[in-house]
Structure 1
Amino acid sequence: MQYWDGDDMATTDDGSNGMTEPCEVCGVETLHEVSVQIVTEGGTGENARYSREPYRVRECQRCGNRESQRMNNA
């Protein structure tokens, strides 16, 4: 997979860079950095440019656990 790092799209009320979300590893709500990345799923070749999909990526700022979820599930 190839990743393209998009702009940080997360905001919080306390002005920090991230948002609180539940962390499966920590077991509590923690600060997460959230971004959108474009992933090329089709490998290489001429048609690879048509297989790009957006993914929501979040990383726990406490333990470093990183998760991604495909945003287009058509």
Structure 2
Amino acid sequence: MATQNSTFAETTELCEECEKSTPHDVTIEIQTESKKQNNTEFSREPYRVTECMECNEMTAKRMNDA
């Protein structure tokens, strides 16, 4: 389960799939990490999600791991 909180302006980033800098759509999402039903509110973490606008490759990085 993920909820989309905000969207940044399109940015240029290195795409590992394209092997070059390409425009990316960048969002911040709150994702639930626990598969258990009880106490899921304690397992939600912010993720930085990027999508390459050329190849549609999507990556998500847990922001607390930065």
Q: TM-score w.r.t. structure 1 length?
A: 0.81
Listed as ranges, the matches of 1:21-60 within 5 Å are 21-60=13-52
CA RMSD, Structure 1 to Structure 2 (Å): 1.0
| Aligned residue identity for 1:67 | T
Partners in 1 of 2:47 and 2:55 — Cα distance? 21
**Number of residue equivalences:** 65
**More strand, by proportion:** 2
| Aligned residue identity for 2:6 | D
Task: Give the % identical residues.
Answer: 38
Q: TM-score w.r.t. structure 2 length?
A: 0.90
Rg larger in structure: 1
Partners in 2 of 1:29 and 1:45 — Cα distance? 40
